[in-house]
Amino acid sequence: MRYNKFMPKSDKVKAPAVKAAPSGSNGAAHEAWGLLSGLVYPPPFAAIARELDLRPAAFGTLRMLDRPRTMSEVAEALHCDNSNVTGIVDNLEEKGLAERRASEEDRRVKLIELTPAGRRVHARLSKAFATPPDWVDSLSAADQQGLRDILQRAVAARTPGP
């Protein structure tokens, strides 16, 4: 699946208007974030989520179920309470994409795992996430490497947390 399926039909996507940087902040960082967020939001995954009638939290949960996970693991990854995960998993179960089962180690612990239909959607999402969008493909090899290097440094500098 290619990103351009979900992108505007025009040859060029207009960059979003970037507001002036707040006083005391790094203007280049503010502008870079404005440009980057316009490139990655909304990604084609939003179209898949709409097609499946999935809210962002359900979509994120589905995406992380590469293996069975506990409700607590999902809550931690989504930065929410276990009680919120109950509703999210209820929704995925109603759509036939995931199911709960008791852990073999501790029957009080519920594991969430994908159904066959959920695995097909997960594979589709994984493929979409792994496919660079056209705007990345259109960059020169040197620019692609430069972008990768900058993003690797940004990921390394990121502090964990919400």
Q: Is the pLDDT of residue 9 over 70?
A: no
pLDDT at 24: 54
84, 75 in Cβ contact below 8 A?
yes
- Between residues 10 and 105, the one the model is more confident about: 105
ω into residue 162 within 30 of 0, thus cis? no
Torsion, Cα 39 43 44 48, to 10 degrees, reads -170
Pairwise pLDDT comparison (52 vs 7), residue with the higher score: 52
Residue 36 and residue 24: Cα distance in Å, rounded? 21
Question: Measured between alpha carbons, how far is 34 from 16 in angstroms, rounded to an integer?
Answer: 7
- DSSP SS3 for 15: coil
Q: Are 95 and 52 in contact (CB under 8 A)?
A: yes
For 112, list phi and psi in degrees, rounded to 5: -110, 130
Provide the whole-model pTM.
Answer: 0.67
Sequence letter at residue 15 = A
Rg for the chain, CA atoms, rounded = 19
Q: What is the mean pLDDT of residues 91-109?
A: 93
* Mean predicted confidence (pLDDT) in 116-133: 87
